């Protein structure tokens, strides 16, 4: 209350401040638009995750959903970027479940992110809490479909069925269903991607 101006990253946080009658202005995260990295996709089962390998980001949920998708699409791939304390446990899960097509890439420099996004068609995020993840903005900018847990500020960034696809946090079965839906409805997905690329312009 003693500040001249309170600035927050998202409408999600603004709603919280509003509960306490503290006026604030939203200045969102930004993303460097790279139109040269955009391309039209055929929507193949090429998935990617770019989050830290920590409990908060729930990569295990993604692996559980991917396990189900593999039954229908044995040629699927999943690139997991990021580092964290759960890497060994997650790698062991992949070994125990004999999951094919999974690659743990580790930490990637920011300037190389789009090279990895270019090899994928669908971005997955299963975090249990979130505000305004730049990785999702980058995926939208690159022309991937974003499938994310419906937590924190994500629904303020992504409109369900219009600029992305959302699922309930920690629900691997629902995530798997959304992944399969995307692979079976490529024309609808291409429209969502187009909408997302338009929407992400405001974060430039």
Structure tokens at 65: 């959903």
CB under 8 Å to 98, separation ≥6 — which residues?
none
> pLDDT of the chain along its 204 residues, tens only?
789 999 999 999 999 999 999 999 999 988 888 776 667 778 999 999 999 999 999 999 999 999 999 999 999 999 999 999 999 999 999 999 999 999 999 999 988 999 999 999 999 999 999 999 999 999 999 999 999 999 999 999 999 999 999 999 999 999 999 999 999 999 999 999 999 999 999 998
The pLDDT of residue 1 is: 79
pLDDT at 37: 65
Specify whether the CB–CB gap between 117 and 37 falls below 8 A: yes
Q: Whole-model pTM?
A: 0.94
Instruction: State how far the Cα of 37 lies from the Cα of 154, in Å rounded to an integer.
Output: 23
- Write a three-state SS string for the chain: CCCCCCEECCHHHHHHHHHCCCCCEECCCCCCCCHHHCCCCCCCCEEEEECCCCHHHCHHHHHHHHHHHHHHCCCCEEEEECCCCCHHHHHHHHHHCCCCCEEEEECCCHHHHHHHHCCCCEEEECCCCCCCCHHHHHHHHHCCEEEEECCCCHHHHCCECCCEEEECCCCHHHHHHHHHHHHHCHHHHHHHHHHHHHHHHHHC
């Amino acid at each position: 209350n003693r500040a001249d101006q309170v600035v927050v990253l998202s409408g999600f946080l603004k709603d919280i401040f509003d509960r306490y009658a503290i006026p604030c202005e939203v200045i969102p995260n930004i993303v460097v638009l790279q139109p040269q990295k955009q391309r039209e996709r055929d929507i193949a089962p090429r998935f990617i995750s770019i989050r830290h390998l920590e409990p908060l980001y729930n990569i295990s949920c993604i692996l559980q959903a991917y396990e189900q998708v593999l039954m229908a699409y044995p040629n699927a791939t999943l690139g997991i970027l990021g580092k964290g304390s759960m890497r060994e446990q997650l790698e062991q899960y992949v070994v125990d479940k004999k999951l094919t097509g999974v690659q743990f890439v580790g930490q990637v420099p920011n300037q190389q992110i789009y090279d990895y996004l270019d090899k994928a068609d669908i971005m997955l995020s299963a975090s249990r809490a979130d505000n305004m993840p730049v990785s999702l903005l980058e995926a939208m900018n690159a022309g991937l479909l974003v499938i994310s847990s419906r937590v924190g500020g994500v629904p303020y960034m992504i409109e369900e069925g219009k600029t992305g696809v959302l699922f309930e946090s920690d629900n691997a079965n629902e995530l798997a269903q959304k992944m399969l839906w995307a692979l079976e409805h490529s024309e609808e997905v291409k429209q969502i991607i187009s909408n997302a690329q338009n929407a992400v312009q405001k974060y430039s």
